[in-house]
Amino acid sequence: MRTMAVVGTGLIGTSVALAVSRRGVTVFLSDRDPAAERTAAALGAGLARPPGEPVDLAVIAVPPSQVGAVLTEAQERGVARAYTDVASVKAGPERAALRRAPEPARYVGGHPLAGRERSGPLAARADLFEGRNWVLTPSGLTSDEAFERALELVALCDAHPVVMHSGDHDAAVAVTSHVPHLMASLMAARLGEGPAGLARVAGQGLRDATRIAAGDSRLWGDILQANAPAVAGVLKDLHADLSRLVPAVDALAGGGEAERDLGMRTLVDLLDRGISGLAGIPAAGHARTGDGPGGVARERHGVLVRVAERPGELARLIAAAADLGGTAEDARADISGAGQGLTVRFAAPAGTADRLVTALAADGWDAVREDGGHPVREGSKGHRETRIPTA
């Protein structure tokens, strides 16, 4: 790929342009706002002028509701030989392309799973897509050439291509992105109306849980409207879950013993289902393994290490194991009694467990693979178990 056009130089469009310019592709930038277009150019994202001849690929980087119109207009002008977009909703743009665009075969929908809370070209980064999944949603009409060009774009951005049906994509992002954004907004809005002293008890957990709510509200309004049917469905499920949760918590607040026990069971069951749900999504840096809840739980194997109970000895072992990719998950006192040593259970990715054993043994530690070495899942007992829980 030698030439590319980026239509819409906001956060994503400018980041795409920066990423491919880095690789020697000549990029032509355009934006309905001259300041955004010139800002992207000044960042080194490309040239702020139209291409003289059709480019290899045009990337439409505008909100979902505008993709159809901008794509149609670009194809009418013959801007490129192939077209893709980066909107986070895919069925609507695909329908628009099939209905209105002169050359639907030259278009394939795309959605890079990357973003920032800040928007606009000044927030753009050439490495925004590194290691992230990038969904492509070819329609029945999408040509092999258009699909190949889009795959090339994903590769140039160091992202991982994932092919999905546009409808499946939209149903999935409603759960993983659109509804979580709304719930974060609902919670963040409560912070503005909450009791005095809120800020003094706001910790990192709250910041993480609400950060996505900082996203541009007009853009998100557009995204949520474009995926409204799927979003409404998930919202109704959550509304029903919440309708069951409220009486459970009410019972804990003032019910009789039987009601309190039932309320607690309902509560802990929800918390446990949440922990299991988390095991179904890949951790950061595991994008490539993302292939349905079954496929993504990171297989981890157990390694047992015996350590003497000298103060600091265990800290030294944990540091050594961490360098080798092992996480201490549990410690058992040897039956032989106090002062006789502890056996610490480490979990490590399947691939590195044996390396961990070998390296620790070489350093003089008494380390063995756990019997059978059967995998442990993230968020499974090992992780959740606690001695005396504290908070």
- Site residues for its own copies, 250-309, by CB under 8 A, read 250, 252-254, 260, 263-264, 267-268, 270-278, 280-284, 290-293, 295-296, 307-309
> Which among 305, 387, 299 has a CA at the least distance from the CA of 345?
305
> Which among 308, 310, 337, 330 has a CA at the least distance from the CA of 381?
330
Three-class SS of 119-181: CCHHHCCCCCCCCCEEEEECCCCCCHHHHHHHHHHHHHCCCEEEECCHHHHHHHHHHHHHHHH
Choice from 1, 4, 5, 9 touching its own copies (CB under 8 A): 9
Smallest gap from Cβ 151 to its own copies, in A, equals 16
Q: ∠ at Cα 322 (352, 277), nearest 5°?
A: 75
Pairing of strands 57-60, 26-30: unpaired
Choice from 140, 256, 312, 372 touching its own copies (CB under 8 A): 312
Residues in contact with its own copies, total (CB under 8 A)?
Answer: 169
Residue with tokens 């297989």: 299
Three-state DSSP state, 247? helix
Q: Is 325 in the site for its own copies (CB under 8 A)?
A: no
Q: Is 51 in the site for its own copies (CB under 8 A)?
A: no
* Alpha carbons within 13 A on the beta-carbon side of 185: 15
- Biggest CA pair distance of the chain: 81
Choice from 186, 322, 350, 361 touching its own copies (CB under 8 A): 186
Question: Of 121-150, which residues contact its own copies (CB under 8 A)?
Answer: 121-122, 132-133, 135
Sequence-distant (6+) residues with CB within 8 A of 5 are 27, 28, 29, 30, 50, 51, 55, 57, 58, 59, 74, 79, 80
Smallest gap from Cβ 140 to its own copies, in A, equals 19
Q: Is 206 in the site for its own copies (CB under 8 A)?
A: yes
Q: Is 330 in the site for its own copies (CB under 8 A)?
A: yes
Choice from 82, 157, 164, 356 touching its own copies (CB under 8 A): 164
Question: Of 345-364, which residues contact its own copies (CB under 8 A)?
Answer: none
Choice from 50, 77, 95, 237 touching its own copies (CB under 8 A): 237
Choice from 155, 228, 262, 320 touching its own copies (CB under 8 A): 228
CA distance linking residue 177 with residue 175, whole number of Å: 6
CA distance linking residue 19 with residue 132, whole number of Å: 13
Question: Of 83-122, which residues contact its own copies (CB under 8 A)?
Answer: 86-88, 111, 113-115, 118-122
Q: Is 50 in the site for its own copies (CB under 8 A)?
A: no
Choice from 5, 20, 25, 43 touching its own copies (CB under 8 A): 43
Nearest CB to its own copies, comparing residues 104 and 112: 112
The token duo for 73 is 């207009």
Q: Is 242 in the site for its own copies (CB under 8 A)?
A: yes
Choice from 52, 311, 364, 372 touching its own copies (CB under 8 A): 311
Smallest gap from Cβ 221 to its own copies, in A, equals 4
Smallest gap from Cβ 174 to its own copies, in A, equals 9
Q: Is 322 in the site for its own copies (CB under 8 A)?
A: no
The token duo for 68 is 């159809």
